[in-house]
């Protein structure tokens, strides 16, 4: 097993994802992917569910040192099963040296992860498929214009939840808990990660390597055009999500959950909301006090549950 990294200085310099990718400036998901690949290395097949990152690999070229397979939005885990089976057959027949085996990595947005691909994901976890699953969670269907997904948080404006007289506070539904949906299937490893905490992110991928079976990573993914913020602010906004307690950094090994970072003093959630245009209607023209209180209370309740267990 690789020893855990201690500081930013230890992060591998070698890029597996080459520069010049066709994503928006400041894409938080792309940054998370870049860090993840530094942990995973080159011996990888990425199985991509249709979304923003599908545009990264334009046939016959990819910006990756590794391989790439594109699937329909709902089918990436089924595609991953096919790739894993093919690799296993090649190894069994002696046509692939086990040392040259590849890691199979599903790469998906939250629309596919929380909604459209959930049944094929559930099947793959249930079959104990040996794969990594990285969801860059920009909290909406980004590629098609930022429509609401099951990952959209309460209060967010999206193309399909515009604040108006009928719905002054944007989306009225809470975000689904994908971590817990996965945990109920009892896979060996689950983690939430953030592009603002690359040491934590890389160490989680390294730790997951010890386990055969499904391994989930959900990265909060600031999305400048969808969230309405300056591209240069992505890392700062991702950090604020953690510092306010909105995005909890945690992992679960065989179902046992532990936090991997706890802010010394939690900042008010408003600091995170106020810097994004998708939440502007919660502050102007009139403050949506009740909604702001509910959002803060939801975060407080989550962390209150951890009070006695935090290590």
Give least dist CB 54 to ligand SF4, A: 10
Residue 132 binds which of ligand TPP, ligand SF4, none (CB < 5-8 A, kind-dependent):
none
Retrieve residue 299's tokens.
């975060």
Compute the distance between CA of residue 199 and CA of residue 110 in angstroms, rounded to an integer.
23
Question: Sign (positive/negative) of CA torsion 13, 42, 197, 116?
Answer: positive
Helices 76-92 and 118-126: crossing angle, nearest 10°? 30
Under rule CB under 6 A, which residues in 41-80 are in contact with ligand TPP? 50-53, 72-73
CA distance 144 to 164: 22
Structure tokens at 161: 């939840």
Q: Which of residues 125-164 bind ligand SF4 (CB under 6 A)?
A: 138, 142-143
Taking CB under 6 A as the criterion, the residue among 16, 40, 52, 249 binding ligand SF4 is 52
Structure tokens of 200?
């934590």
308 C-beta neighbours (distance < 10 Å), count: 6
Q: How far is the CB of 201 from ligand TPP (least distance, A)?
A: 18
Binding mask 216-255 for ligand SF4 (x = CB under 6 A): -----x-xxxx-----------------------------
Q: Which is nearer to ligand TPP, 130 or 139 (CB)?
A: 139
Q: Which of residues 163-202 bind ligand SF4 (CB under 6 A)?
A: none
What is the distance between the terminal CA atoms of the chain, rounded to a whole angstrom?
23
Residue 110 binding result from ligand SF4, ligand TPP, none, given CB thresholds of 5 to 8 Å by partner type: ligand TPP
CA distances (Å), origin 258, targets 189, 249, 261: 12, 9, 9
Our CB check for ligand TPP shows the closer of 140 and 240 to be 140
What x/- string results for residues 120 through 159 when contact with ligand TPP is judged by CB under 6 A? ------------------x--xxxx----x----------
Binders of ligand TPP among residues 169 to 198 (CB under 6 A) are none
Out of 109, 195, 222, 245, name the contact with ligand TPP by CB under 6 A.
Answer: 109
| Structure-block tokens of residue 139 | 């909290």
When computed from its CA atoms, the radius of gyration of the chain, rounded to whole angstroms, is 19
- Dihedral through CA 264, CA 268, CA 273, CA 276, nearest 10? -60
Three-state secondary structure call for residue 51: coil
Q: For binding to ligand SF4 (CB under 6 A), which residues are involved?
A: 23-24, 27, 29, 52, 138, 142-143, 221, 223-226
Q: For binding to ligand TPP (CB under 6 A), which residues are involved?
A: 50-53, 72-73, 108-112, 138, 141-144, 149
């Amino acid at each position: 097993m690789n020893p855990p990294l201690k500081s930013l200085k230890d992060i591998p310099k070698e890029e597996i994802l080459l520069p010049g990718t066709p994503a928006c400036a400041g894409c938080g998901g792309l940054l998370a992917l870049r860090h993840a690949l530094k942990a995973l290395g080159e011996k990888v097949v990425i199985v991509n569910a249709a979304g923003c990152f599908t545009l990264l690999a334009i046939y016959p070229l990819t910006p990756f040192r590794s391989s790439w397979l594109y699937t329909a939005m709902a089918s990436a885990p089924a595609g991953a099963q096919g790739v894993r089976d093919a690799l296993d057959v090649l190894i069994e027949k002696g046509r692939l040296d086990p040392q040259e085996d590849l890691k199979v990595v599903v790469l998906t947005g939250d629309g596919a992860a929380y909604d459209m691909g959930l049944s094929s994901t559930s099947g793959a976890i249930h079959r104990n498929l040996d794969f990594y699953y990285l969801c860059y969670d920009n909290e909406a269907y980004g590629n098609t214009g930022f429509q609401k997904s099951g990952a959209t948080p309460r209060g967010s404006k999206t193309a399909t939840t515009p604040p108006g007289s009928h719905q002054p506070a944007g989306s009225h539904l809470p975000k689904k808990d994908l971590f817990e949906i996965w945990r109920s299937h009892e896979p060996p490893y689950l983690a939430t990660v953030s592009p603002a905490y690359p040491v934590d992110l890389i160490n989680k991928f390294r730790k997951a390597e010890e386990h055969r079976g499904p391994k989930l990573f959900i990265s909060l993914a600031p999305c400048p055009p969808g969230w309405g913020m300056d591209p240069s602010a992505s890392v700062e906004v991702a950090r604020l999500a953690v510092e306010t307690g909105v995005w909890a950094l945690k992992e679960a090994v065989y179902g046992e959950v532990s936090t991997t970072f706890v802010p010394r003093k939690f900042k008010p959630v408003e600091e995170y909301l106020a810097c994004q245009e998708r939440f502007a209607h919660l502050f102007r023209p009139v403050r949506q006090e009740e909604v702001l209180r509910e959002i803060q209370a939801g975060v407080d309740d989550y962390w209150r549950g951890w009070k006695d267990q935090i290590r």
